[in-house]
Amino acid sequence: MDGYTLLLFVGGGLFLVAGAEALVRGASRLAAALGVSPLVVGLTVVAFGTSAPELAVSVSSSFAGQNDIAVGNVVGSNIFNVLFILGLAALITPLVVAQQLVRLDVPLMIGVSVLLGVLAADGQVSRFEGMLLFAGIVAYTAFAVRMSRAETATVQAEYASEFEADAARPGGAAINTFLVVVGLGALVLGSRWFVTAAVAVAQRIGVSELVIGLTIVAAGTSLPEVATSVIASLRGERDIAVGNVVGSNLFNILGVLGLSAVVAPDGLAVAPAVSRFDLPVMVAVAVACMPIFLTGHRIARWEGGLFLAYYVAYVTYLVLGATQHDALPAVNRVMVVFVLPLTVVTLAVLTVRAVRERSRTR
């Protein structure tokens, strides 16, 4: 990687993170000034705002015809969000999922993940399908606002402690609007630099744009989610740590990929490799959340460690496959013979245990 590419890569990443931070702060303060509750701000403005880098990168990539980066960024980010971010947050402190909306969102996340797999089965997400996906995020936002009114006082207080103090800081509408505009500008510029550098890296090391999108770009654009969920976990605001990830994953599929398909010149092409491997992994990761969330609505430290281990295995497999390394067949055998069966058995045991515990309490 030459100095210019490195400068674009680092500078683009910094602009993405700083732009997302400015956008979230300005938008959340404006929402609070308009009388929107901290809970709604957290579930919508902040969760979607932390996905702004994914939106900027995927939309700009699809508009330029770089479909592999646009799709890889969304799929890779969703895998990264669950396995890496939730895994890291749970290692810091076990995550207790007490919020009703989060529990409803997990099945919804599974459903939209499966829907994306169905839509991409023909190798393309058309403009019309993109419109349907984007309509889904509009409906979800209205649903989140409505359901937030039924949340408990504890959950309301948790979100208020996180977002109300920030919204109350001095600064008029003009300053907050300026933050939003600057944040959007930084996101646009940062996404261009970041994508340009990512393509250059892929060409230089002989790895496809798809692999770069699934790994480096996905991790880079997910940095705001990392910061939000880890800080929330450290502060003991565990619902926020989980809700940010689940809300961001929903926005990535419905909003980011939907809009990317709309602006793409001929719809959004989906590589066969994504349909065969990465999309099923994304669906499996979403499904894996269900039994773990059912076990006392808790993500234990060992489950967080398991998530992180799976992310390392996933990235290792991508790199070995891209470079056609000699160790790839051995890794395949280990995954098929040991890892996958053990995972299925573990999730089945957790599910049965959760169902039995529920039946006893009734």
Considering only CA atoms, give the Rg of the chain.
20
Query: Residues 6 or more apart from 216 whose CB is under 8 A from it?
Result: 198, 201
For residue 133, the model assigns a pLDDT of 94
Across the chain, mean pLDDT equals 78
C-alpha dist (Å) from residue 337 to 101, 129, 281, 291, 347: 37, 37, 17, 22, 17
- What pLDDT does 135 receive? 95
Q: For position 303, what pLDDT does the model report?
A: 82
3-state secondary structure of 76: helix
CB 78 within 8 A of CB 247: no
Sorting pLDDT into bands at 50, 70 and 90, what band is 262? very high
In 3-state terms, what secondary structure has residue 324? Answer: coil
Q: Give 348 or 278, the one with higher predicted confidence.
A: 278
Query: Per residue in 4-24, pLDDT tens?
Result: 788 888 888 788 778 777 776
pLDDT in tens, 271-329: 888 888 889 889 988 888 877 776 666 777 888 888 898 898 888 888 777 766 666 56
Residues 6+ apart with CB under 8 A from 310: 83, 285
The highest-level CATH class for domain 3-325 is mainly alpha
pLDDT tens digit sequence for 70-125? 899 999 999 999 999 888 888 888 877 765 656 678 889 999 999 999 999 999 99
For position 314, what pLDDT does the model report?
A: 86
What are the tokens at 100? 């009703």
**How is the chain split into domains, by residue range?**
3-325
What pLDDT, on a 0 to 100 scale, did the predictor assign at position 84?
92
Which has more confidence, 293 or 217? 217
The yes-or-no verdict on residue 126 having pLDDT over 80 is yes
Of all residues in the chain, the percent with pLDDT exceeding 70 is 72
